[in-house]
Amino acid sequence: MKKEEYIKILGEISDFELYSLAKSKLISNLQTNNFSDWRLKCIFEECSLRNSKIYNDALCDAIYSIHSQDFQNKFSRNVNRIDHLTISELKITLNELLERNNKMTKKIGFEDLMSSLTGILRDKDVSIYRIAGNSMEEAGIFDSAIIIVKERTIPKDGEIVLVKHNGRMLVKILEIKEDSLVLKSKNRKYPDILLDQYSDCEFLGKVKLIVNAT
């Protein structure tokens, strides 16, 4: 099929069909690390014309789909702060979708977006999570974002980390002080969490990549 014909077909399908096609193509291309497929770029451009959230949703769900197959044992955690539901399962209304899409701070090019995933997804010491909540909005991590977490690494001061605190999994900024550690949100509505030797806290890894679904 010629490129012009493919673009015409993309312009005639529904948003849901475009999302489904994008997700299927992304799963295939992420698994083979092939981002030179002109069809995928055409899909990206059609999504950008309609609503960039279509492609972001497809990308988040494709990443989740691949890693839930590869790391099934890591997705059995039942916690409050991390939600593994796919966006399509959440059945977001059109008004909510448009409202959330306005949070996008900048447009990211196709090549930049896809190349940022290269290498990270091949690392066997990573886990994929979907965020629930708004405690890190000012750090650019919105509700329903996908985060890619590097495990078995020592976090440094100022890094975004995933921790298990009092049985809940949280994404916070780590602040290292002389006599204590502090977990900080990037939303003034949430207080700091001071850690000491008696705190029930486990560092699970540091956030390497954020893919917002907004």
Residue 116 CB burial class (10 angstroms; 0-12, 13-18, ≥19): middle
CA distance 204 to 65: 21
Phi first, then psi, for residue 211 (nearest 5°) are -120, 105
Indicate the domain borders of the chain: 3-211
pLDDT level of residue 120 (50, 70, 90 thresholds): low
The runs of H, that is alpha helices, within 1-78 are: 3-12, 15-32, 38-50, 52-70
Top-confidence residue, 87 or 113: 113
If pLDDT is split at 50, 70 and 90, which confidence band does 112 have?
Answer: low
**Residue 62 φ/ψ, nearest 5 degrees:** -65, -45
- CA-to-CA separations, 14 to 24, 32, 62, 90, 213, in angstroms, rounded: 15, 27, 19, 19, 19
- The mean of the pLDDT values for the chain is 75
**Span 160-193, pLDDT tens digits:** 999 988 888 899 999 998 778 999 999 989 999 9
Residue keyed to tokens 């994929």: 128
- What count of other Cβ atoms lies within 10 Å of the Cβ of residue 180? 12
Of residues 120, 126, 127, 147, the one with CA closest to residue 136: 147
- pLDDT-above-90 percentage for the chain: 20
Query: How far does CA 173 lie from the centroid of its chain?
Result: 17
Residue 24: pLDDT over 70: yes
Distance (Å, whole) CA 153 – CA 88: 33
User: Helix, strand or coil for residue 203?
Assistant: strand
Distance CA 68, CA 127 (A): 9
Q: How confident is the model at residue 113 (pLDDT cuts 50, 70, 90)?
A: low
CA–CA gap between residue 180 and residue 178 (Å, rounded): 6
**Assigned CATH for 3-211:** 2.10.109.10
